Structure 1
Amino acid sequence: MRVLFAASEAVPLAKSGGLGDVTGALPKALNERGAEVRVVLPKYADIPASFLEHFETIHTFSFHFSWRHQYCGLLRGVVGGVTFYLIDNEQYFKRDGLYGYEDDPERFVFFNFAIAECLPHMDFVPDIIHCHDWQTALLPFLLKTRYSFDPLCRSVRTVFTIHNLRYQGVFGQKLLQDLIGMDDFWYWTSGLEFYGAANCMKAGLQYADRLTTVSETYAQEIQTEYWGERLDGVIRWRASELSGILNGIDIESYDPMNDPALDTPYRGSISRKRKNKTALQRELGLPVSESIPVIGVVTRLVEQKGIDLIDRVLEPLLDEGIQLVVLGAGEYRYEEMLRGAAQWRPEQLALHLGYDEGLARRIYAGSDMFLMPSLFEPCGLSQLIALRYRTVPIVRETGGLRDTVQPYDEYTGTGNGFTFANYNAHDMLHTVRRALEYYRNEESWKTIVANGAKEDYSWSRSARSYMSLYSELLPLRKETERWPVIS
């Protein structure tokens, strides 16, 4: 079973968020189960030179997409036991950062075309191409239309994974027509039209052979009008071919017993874990005390993550005698709110704007609780990392948070965290207060922490589900009559 992951980022080469974690770790888990999985990425300027040393150029050529004639280089290398391919074009990818440029539509349309053009030169014939998010969503469409004449492209199956439905790659109609080289008739019959614009993710949703998203609850949520981001009709149409497969984490990397970023290694010992708490307090300039509850937040400071709920009840939350540790960056209004609060209550709120991987790990290890009051959360990795570091999550019941965090039941002794259903600041505050009550009961707290340690949040479980999906897909004949073959 040969699978090519097509993605815009993957650790350890390039990462901006959770997508990079998934596309970096899942291939390893699939390879361990007998698949042969390789990954293709753009050759960004940000890829460290220490990794590029492992790559060699295996093919160079130029090709046309629309009226453009562009150079393309194909590099191959092995990093961390996984074979990666890099698509090289300095005009598009030799820049700081991964995204956020005005010509992102052209950059990633080129990337999709380049993958199709490079397939004959990879020394690797995939059975399945697994595409991730809008940056590679056009590839299933191109394989079934522009490249349908090619036997290799016609025979390969495609899987498209929605990591976050909100980010769809919506661009002007004429722009996408120009980039792909389509006339008005092709545009309207292709199904890429989206309320007068053009939608890359819609292409993946319609043309991929199978669809997945990153949790069972999110798979149900995005079929509703409220959470469907105006694509719910298309998703309901493909509902029988949509699977919700929960993400995992790399348990070798996220291992509190062997994490070099931590002050004190530990596994199940709360006393050793609390040594990391006092070390974190000293590092951030907070009063040092094992008895003070520390609540950690590692997130993007954006509306999706529920920062406005924290804003609304910050004063009564701090009045509970907690210490709040926040690491992240995002919208200016939230950064300013937290900066002001840190100046107002410096003994209780420590803020680090930006991202620091080592500090993030020390927050996971040094916090007693981890707060994720998200408006929506397709899967979420932070709560899984928190559980791995024996930190109790407090989450809103949405998407993958609902699927991975079970509320503690004092009567049965079950549950690994605390949850609230309504997107309401005072419901969140009430849930934090409930968690603090049990934190002050040593035996109850040990039970909750121990419950969190019982679950398997590694990629092994997810890999089994993907292998099953791939196995179902391979024997299927192409249903080419479902998609218009346009030349």
Structure 2
Amino acid sequence: MKLLFVASEAVPLVKTGGLADVAGSLPKALRDRGAEVRVMIPKYASIPQSVIERMETVATFTVGVGWRTQYCGLKKAEVEGIIYYFIDNEFYFKRGDGIYGYGDDAERFVFFSLAVLESLIYMDYRPELLHCHDWQTGLIPFLLKTRYQHDPACRDIATVYTIHNMKYQGVFGIELLMDLLGAGGELFGSDGLEFYGAGSCMKGALLYADKLTTVSPTYAREIQTDSYGERLDGLLRYRSADLSGIVNGIDTESFDPMADPALEFPYRNSLTRKRKNKLALQRELGLPESAETPLIGVVSRLVDQKGFYLVEAVLESLAEEDMQLVVLGSGDPHYEYVFRNATERWPDKVKVWLGFNDALARRIYAGSDMYLMPSSFEPCGLSQLIALRYRSVPIVRETGGLKDTVLAYNENTGEGNGFSFAHYNADDMLYTVRRALDCYRDEHVWETIVANGGKSDCSWDQSARAYMSVYAGLLSKRKESITWPVIS
């Protein structure tokens, strides 16, 4: 089984979100299950210099972007046992600050999509299946079926497309996309890229990819509804037989509290050693040191989607509880102000670190007793999985992957690895936090909940098995559909 992952980011090379974790970690899990997997991403300036120095050139060629002809270099290097290919064009990808958010993002990722397909002619590897991720690669399944279907290098290649977040669809003006693709209106009908007067890159993949996946079973159901489908729910219902939800995993070697260099006190299941990390975190952030005081951690983008509207609404009530709250993140200036102000008002209760610090994030997972994640929607979520791995008990809203991975504690049966609430409501969230605090004060109950969380399988193993099943079923059908010529 020869697979080529195509994504706009991948750990450990470049990361802005959970997409990078999937594109970088899942291939290793698939390799361990017998697949041959390679990955293709843009060659960004932010890729570590040690990797850039090891890259070898596979080919150089040109790519037509509208009326323009652009240089493209195809490079490769092995990273952590996986061969990566890099699409090289400094005009598009040698940018200083970040990898998204530029005025020419449409042109940059149209070029990337075209370059991926053109590179198949020159590659020293013949994939049977392209696995594309998010809007930045959404045009690839579309172009494969509409422009490259007769190209010998592209013919008979199957495609799988993974939706990581329906809110980000790569929607641009029709005239702009026509210009970049060098196409006329034939590509923009109801069975093309047209999307309410504009053009959607994601819609192209939803129409033309052979199989669709998203990052949790619950999110797969949610996006087929008006509330979560972002105006593509009808198309997703139409393709429901080809859509499956597979929960993400995490790299359990990287996220291992027993071997994490960011932690002062390695541990596995020992609450005593975990609480030593809490004391160290309190000391580091200037909070009163107390092993008994429950500490709630948050590592997140500070945006509405992550539920900070709810947190802000009950912050005064939370501050009245016997607890501490530590927040690491950045985002909406309003929420940054809210937490800065809270730190000033309750310096012994609330601490915020604006920005991102990977080592501190790991110390928050290790030092927190509970991890708060009250998202309005959450396709999968990785933070609750990391929290479980570090024996921090998640408090979540029942949506998307949070519902699939966090089971509310049941006092009658002793089952459950966290706490959850169904309605996006600040009072429900506050009630759930208080319930968790009550359970924390009963050492026997708390040990049971933490132990349940320790049994959660946060690895990629089950997810890789599910993806292998999708690939195998698709490739089997593709081979059956090929009509071989009769030689007399």
TM class by shorter-chain length?
A: over 0.9
Which stretches of structure 1, 4 residues or more, deviate above 3 A after TM superposition?
A: 477-480
**Partner of 1:123 in structure 2?**
124
State the Cα distance separating 1:479 from its structure 2 match. Answer: 11
Deviates more, 1:183-192 or 1:151-160: 183-192
**Partner of 1:414 in structure 2?**
415
Task: Map Cα deviations across residues 191-236 of structure 1 (whole Å, 9 max, x no partner).
Answer: 2100000000000100000000000000000000111100001100
State the Cα distance separating 1:283 from its structure 2 match. Answer: 0.6
CA distance in 1, matches of 2:241, 2:392: 37
**Partner of 1:80 in structure 2?**
80
CA distance in 1, matches of 2:347, 2:480: 62
- Establish whether residue 13 from structure 1 lines up as the match of residue 16 from structure 2: no
CA distance in 1, matches of 2:349, 2:156: 59
CA distance in 2, matches of 1:212, 1:384: 20
Pairwise CA RMSD: 1.1
Alignment of 1:87-102 (within 5 A): 87-96=87-96, 97-102=98-103
CA distance in 2, matches of 1:362, 1:274: 11
Name structure 2 gaps, 5 residues minimum: 482-488
**Partner of 2:212 in structure 1?**
211
**Partner of 1:485 in structure 2?**
none
State the Cα distance separating 1:364 from its structure 2 match. Answer: 0.3
CA distance in 1, matches of 2:79, 2:397: 37
Task: Map Cα deviations across residues 367-389 of structure 1 (whole Å, 9 max, x no partner).
Answer: 00000000000000000000000
**Partner of 2:358 in structure 1?**
357
Alignment of 1:57-456 (within 5 A): 57-96=57-96, 97-188=98-189, 190-456=191-457
State the Cα distance separating 1:58 from its structure 2 match. Answer: 1.4
Secondary structure, counterpart of 2:188 in structure 1: helix
**Partner of 2:485 in structure 1?**
none
Amino acid at match of 2:135: W
CA distance in 2, matches of 1:22, 1:446: 31
State the Cα distance separating 1:254 from its structure 2 match. Answer: 0.4
Q: Is the Cα–Cα contact under 8 Å of residues 63 and 111 in structure 2 kept in the other structure?
A: no
CA distance in 2, matches of 1:22, 1:165: 16
CA distance in 2, matches of 1:240, 1:357: 39
- The 1:31–1:479 alpha-carbon spacing in structure 2 relative to 1, beyond 3 Å, is closer
**Partner of 1:32 in structure 2?**
32
Secondary structure, counterpart of 1:152 in structure 2: coil
Amino acid at match of 1:115: V
Q: Is the Cα–Cα contact under 8 Å of residues 54 and 79 in structure 1 kept in the other structure?
A: no
Amino acid at match of 1:472: G
State the Cα distance separating 1:478 from its structure 2 match. Answer: 8.4
Deviates more, 1:264-273 or 1:62-71: 62-71
Secondary structure, counterpart of 2:153 in structure 1: helix
**Partner of 1:43 in structure 2?**
43
State the Cα distance separating 1:183 from its structure 2 match. Answer: 1.0
Amino acid at match of 2:290: S
Amino acid at match of 1:117: E
Task: Map Cα deviations across residues 271-320 of structure 1 (whole Å, 9 max, x no partner).
Answer: 00000000000111111110111000000001100011000000101111
Deviates more, 1:307-316 or 1:143-152: 143-152
**Partner of 1:483 in structure 2?**
none
State the Cα distance separating 1:64 from its structure 2 match. Answer: 1.5
CA distance in 2, matches of 1:351, 1:189: 48
State the Cα distance separating 1:190 from its structure 2 match. Answer: 4.6
Task: Map Cα deviations across residues 403-453 of structure 1 (whole Å, 9 max, x no partner).
Answer: 000000011000000000000001000000000001000000000000011
CA distance in 2, matches of 1:455, 1:298: 20
Deviates more, 1:59-68 or 1:226-235: 59-68
Identity of aligned residues (%): 64
Deviates more, 1:186-195 or 1:32-41: 186-195
Secondary structure, counterpart of 1:164 in structure 2: coil
CA distance in 2, matches of 1:172, 1:161: 24
- The 1:189–1:226 alpha-carbon spacing in structure 2 relative to 1, beyond 3 Å, is closer
Task: Map Cα deviations across residues 156-177 of structure 1 (whole Å, 9 max, x no partner).
Answer: 0000000001100011111111
Task: Map Cα deviations across residues 99-119 of structure 1 (whole Å, 9 max, x no partner).
Answer: 010000000000000000001
Amino acid at match of 1:157: A
How many residues get paired?
A: 480
Amino acid at match of 1:121: Y
State the Cα distance separating 1:477 from its structure 2 match. Answer: 3.3
State the Cα distance separating 1:149 from its structure 2 match. Answer: 2.0
CA distance in 1, matches of 2:27, 2:472: 16
Secondary structure, counterpart of 1:383 in structure 2: helix
Q: Is the Cα–Cα contact under 8 Å of residues 287 and 347 in structure 2 kept in the other structure?
A: yes
Amino acid at match of 1:52: I
State the Cα distance separating 1:457 from its structure 2 match. Answer: 1.2
Q: Is the Cα–Cα contact under 8 Å of residues 169 and 201 in structure 1 kept in the other structure?
A: yes
CA distance in 2, matches of 1:64, 1:128: 24
Q: Is the Cα–Cα contact under 8 Å of residues 39 and 85 in structure 2 kept in the other structure?
A: yes
CA distance in 2, matches of 1:114, 1:335: 40
Secondary structure, counterpart of 1:326 in structure 2: strand
State the Cα distance separating 1:186 from its structure 2 match. Answer: 3.3
TM-score, with normalisation over the residues of structure 2?
0.97
State the Cα distance separating 1:189 from its structure 2 match. Answer: 6.0
Task: Map Cα deviations across residues 451-471 of structure 1 (whole Å, 9 max, x no partner).
Answer: 011121100110000001100
Q: Is the Cα–Cα contact under 8 Å of residues 210 and 241 in structure 1 kept in the other structure?
A: yes
TM-score, with normalisation over the residues of structure 1?
0.97
CA distance in 2, matches of 1:446, 1:457: 19
**Partner of 2:486 in structure 1?**
none
State the Cα distance separating 1:66 from its structure 2 match. Answer: 1.9
Secondary structure, counterpart of 1:154 in structure 2: coil
CA distance in 2, matches of 1:131, 1:58: 21
- The 1:478–1:112 alpha-carbon spacing in structure 2 relative to 1, beyond 3 Å, is farther
CA distance in 2, matches of 1:55, 1:298: 34
State the Cα distance separating 1:184 from its structure 2 match. Answer: 1.9
CA distance in 2, matches of 1:105, 1:214: 25
Amino acid at match of 1:55: M
